[in-house]
Amino acid sequence: MELPLVFDRYRAEIDAELRSALAKHQSPMYDMVRYHLGWIDEKGYPRQNSVGKALRPTLCLLACEATGGDWHKALPAAAAIELVHNFSLVQDDIQDNDPERHHRPTVWSIWGKPQAINAGTAMHVLASLTLLHLRERGISVEKQRRAQYLLNESCLRMMEGQYLDISYESRLDIGVSDYLDMIDKKTAALIGCSLETGALLGNDDESIIRAFRNLGRDMGIAFQIRDDILGIWGGKKETGKLLAGDIQRRKKSLPIVYALEKAEGEMRGELVKVYQDQVVDPEGVATVLRILEAVEAQLYAQGVAEEYRDRALAEIERIVHLPWARDSLEELAHFVVKRKF
Amino acid sequence: MELPLVFDRYRAEIDAELRSALAKHQSPMYDMVRYHLGWIDEKGYPRQNSVGKALRPTLCLLACEATGGDWHKALPAAAAIELVHNFSLVQDDIQDNDPERHHRPTVWSIWGKPQAINAGTAMHVLASLTLLHLRERGISVEKQRRAQYLLNESCLRMMEGQYLDISYESRLDIGVSDYLDMIDKKTAALIGCSLETGALLGNDDESIIRAFRNLGRDMGIAFQIRDDILGIWGGKKETGKLLAGDIQRRKKSLPIVYALEKAEGEMRGELVKVYQDQVVDPEGVATVLRILEAVEAQLYAQGVAEEYRDRALAEIERIVHLPWARDSLEELAHFVVKRKF
């Protein structure tokens, strides 16, 4: 499966903006950041390609263009959002004990958790510093302040979602609405922020800015549900992640939450029994997979993701009038629920 | 030993500003933040007193007054700096595996490391949001941007220092100048930022603003060296920390660095042998304490701290003309090298 073409439109300049955010920092601490971003290997040798799709900065710049703005002016915001996203990945890997991401060892698994915490925080601070450069691109003081406020608020939501995600691990009483509340914070808030910030920097119409945030929230929820599906049925080859790792860690992802609601009698008993232990063993994983199949949890989850995609498509049709931008956003909405990585 | 009276001057309003930064946040995640700040106990019941001296916000507000400003306008900066300091403490406890601080269990030791990481990051984001309130206190856009820049840059320095501190643990080739470079970043950068930001919000004279930063750096270095002394010879009763915990963790604090430079022959051999292991056992701690005494490392370290205090006193005399403010700053300069907690 190919990436939609719109990712190519901004990639080089997003990359340049990110590199300039790191350019003047020499302490070896920043090599952990450069490693995470895929610019160097663990020994410090340059690598050819960055890792990651850069979905969030692409959405930000596309929203800026779609609302009539000059996307170059929004580059500091796009880079800041990508840095916030990546700092959250470094922390997430620490919290989840994940040894690999994108087929590479995670930062903590090379440098240890204490240093990885420093690298994550440094990336977070670099995001704030990068956002301050909006002024030099001719963005008004008021809009720059608002962009800072938006990014900070989204970051708080993201932490609240991460808090819920972890606290759900040891619970079995999580329903679909608890789940949706959690991913709205953990994932959709920052994707919503990407589109809202792009629209804010592209135009002055408050109703349009709000509509882009809602569009981002819907796309974000669809994105996370697809992530949940890949977290259980995605092969390691595609995602670079542990096969069925989400089951082992007792993550209350949508297929599991659905099975907990749906499974009855003996089947429910089996599910509950597997989740009694702190870590689910391979036999337990097999049991869970069998129950997920019996209740058709993948079909259900994919259906919910597509509902949110359809809401996104309707919103795009309503608010985006530039034909190529509309096509690109539609393609992205389809991409988030079809992607295999 | 009593706290200097100037701490009372601002305490109530610093506390109010911090509480307002948390006021609208309801997720249970923020209870970890409230617990760390000493407002509630681990079950959520209110406690009488906040913990911590609030040295940094006090310095910030005092610098604002000393340079002729209205300290009330600087409160968002003071609170933001205190939040940054406290987020760094939460992270530091995680990184160092410290089970106690201020005679209370640390956040991670109650909620686990993954959730403590979320709490620390949330505190960091709350600091950025709080700083945005400078505008509502009538601070100009330019100064507010500069305050954000200063706080972010200091935070990066702090992370670089923390990176060095951890990487020094496994090394024996650390000299006094490496050590001073590390604490200048780890500790003095944020204390320098406190005074610089206060002076920035209090007056427009660039040479005065710069002088306050340098004063803060000197006080910060003196403060950290005193911290090192307390980290080895301070009783658990006063500091709420593990006795000689810094030795157990192989921290390259100034007394140790000095001993590594000073000890020769058999003594150096013993010291090197103790530090071969990942964690120093009680017998090793006793050996190190004996060697530190032999080379008079405490006397040396206290002497260096007092040199920096004297530099601070000279700077205070040169730049602070308001008599009560000068007295207060002098008292603080003496306090940082005499304190027992």
Positions in chain B short of pLDDT 70 = 1, 50-51, 236-243
What is the reported pLDDT for B236? 66
- How many other CB atoms are found less than 10 A from the CB of residue A91? 27
Q: How many CB pairs lie under 8 A apart between chains A and B?
A: 103
B149–A167 CB contact, under 8 Å: no
Q: Of the candidates A114, A135, A163, which has its C-beta nearest B166's C-beta? A: A114
What is the reported pLDDT for B228? 96
B117–A121 CB contact, under 8 Å: no
Residue of B nearest to A22 (CA): B156
For residues A85 and A223, the answer to whether their CB atoms sit within 8 Å is: no
What is the reported pLDDT for B232? 93
Nearest CA distance, A166 vs chain B (angstrom):
7
Chain A neighbors of B95, CB-CB under 8 A: 113-114, 117-118
Q: Which residues pair with A127 in a beta bridge?
A: none
How many degrees, rounded to 5, is the angle at CA A210 between CA A206 and CA A212?
A: 120
Q: Which residues pair with A101 in a beta bridge?
A: A104
Nearest to A77 by CA among A196, A246, A229: A196
Query: B178 burial class (0-12, 13-18, 19+ CB within 10 angstroms)?
Result: middle
Residue of A nearest to B157 (CA): A122
What gap in Å lies between CA A97 and CA B222, rounded to an integer? 38
Chain A neighbors of B115, CB-CB under 8 A: 163, 166-167
**CB burial string A133-150: b at 16+ within 10 A, e below:** bbbeeebeeebbbbbbeb
Chain B neighbors of A95, CB-CB under 8 A: 113-114, 117-118
Nearest to B33 by CA among B79, B75, B72: B79
User: Which residues in A have their CB inside 8 Å of a CB on B?
Assistant: 25, 27-29, 91, 94-96, 113-115, 117-118, 121-122, 124-126, 128-129, 132, 135, 141, 145, 148-149, 152-153, 155-156, 159-160, 162-164, 166-167
Three-class secondary structure of residue A8 per DSSP? helix
Residue of B32, B33, B117, B193 to mutate when probing chain A, most A C-beta within 10 A? B117
pLDDT tens string A76-135: 999 999 999 999 999 999 999 999 998 899 999 999 999 999 999 999 999 999 999 999
What is the reported pLDDT for B313? 98
Chain A neighbors of B132, CB-CB under 8 A: 145, 148-149, 152
- How many other CB atoms are found less than 10 A from the CB of residue B275? 20
What gap in Å lies between CA B293 and CA B299, rounded to an integer? 9
Q: Of the candidates A28, A155, A167, which has its C-beta nearest B125's C-beta? A: A155
Chain B neighbors of A148, CB-CB under 8 A: 128, 132, 148
How many degrees, rounded to 5, is the angle at CA B130 between CA B320 and CA B150?
A: 50
Nearest CA distance, A184 vs chain B (angstrom):
14
Chain A neighbors of B34, CB-CB under 8 A: none
- How many other CB atoms are found less than 10 A from the CB of residue B58? 25
What gap in Å lies between CA A316 and CA A331, rounded to an integer? 11
Residue of A nearest to B122 (CA): A156
pLDDT tens string B97-131: 999 998 899 999 999 999 999 999 999 999 999 99
B113–A132 CB contact, under 8 Å: no
Q: Of the candidates A29, A153, A166, which has its C-beta nearest B163's C-beta? A: A29
Chain B neighbors of A164, CB-CB under 8 A: 27
A118–B159 CB contact, under 8 Å: yes
A118–B155 CB contact, under 8 Å: no
Nearest to A198 by CA among A66, A96, A41, A316: A66
Query: B104 burial class (0-12, 13-18, 19+ CB within 10 angstroms)?
Result: middle
How many degrees, rounded to 5, is the angle at CA A77 between CA A71 and CA A78?
A: 70
Residue of A152, A153, A193 to mutate when probing chain B, most B C-beta within 10 A? A152
- Which amino acid is located at A174 in the chain? I
Return the structure tokens found at B152: 């972010």
For residues A274 and A284, the answer to whether their CB atoms sit within 8 Å is: yes
* Residue extents of the structural domains in chain B: 6-338
Q: Of the candidates B27, B149, B159, which has its C-beta nearest A163's C-beta? A: B27
Nearest CA distance, A23 vs chain B (angstrom):
14
A160–B27 CB contact, under 8 Å: yes
Residue of B nearest to A127 (CA): B152
Backbone angles phi, psi at A104, to 5 degrees: -130, 150
Helices A6-22 and A113-131 pack at an angle, to 10 degrees, of 100
A149–B129 CB contact, under 8 Å: yes
What gap in Å lies between CA B153 and CA A303, rounded to an integer? 46
Q: Of the candidates A126, A145, A156, which has its C-beta nearest B125's C-beta? A: A156
User: Within chain B, where are the H helices?
Assistant: 6-22, 29-36, 55-66, 75-96, 107-111, 113-131, 141-169, 176-183, 189-202, 206-233, 236-239, 245-248, 254-262, 265-274, 282-294, 297-319, 323-338
A6-338: CATH topology is: Farnesyl Diphosphate Synthase (1.10.600)
A27–B155 CB contact, under 8 Å: no
Residue count (chain A):
341
B118–A152 CB contact, under 8 Å: no
- Sequence-ordered list of residues with C-beta below 8 angstroms from that of A68, at least 6 positions apart, any chain: A202, A203, A322
A117–B126 CB contact, under 8 Å: no
pLDDT tens string A34-83: 999 999 999 999 997 766 889 999 999 999 999 999 999 999 999 999 99
What gap in Å lies between CA A328 and CA A63, rounded to an integer? 10
What gap in Å lies between CA A201 and CA A147, rounded to an integer? 8
What gap in Å lies between CA A82 and CA B287, rounded to an integer? 50
Element (H, E) at A163: helix A141-169
Nearest CA distance, B7 vs chain A (angstrom):
29
For each of chain A's 341 residues, which pLDDT tens digit applies?
688 999 999 999 999 999 999 999 999 999 999 999 999 999 999 997 766 889 999 999 999 999 999 999 999 999 999 999 999 999 999 999 999 998 899 999 999 999 999 999 999 999 999 999 999 999 999 999 999 999 999 999 999 999 999 999 999 999 999 999 999 999 999 999 999 999 999 999 999 999 999 999 999 999 999 999 999 998 766 555 556 788 988 999 999 999 999 999 999 999 999 988 888 899 999 999 999 999 999 999 999 999 999 999 999 999 999 999 999 999 999 999 999 88
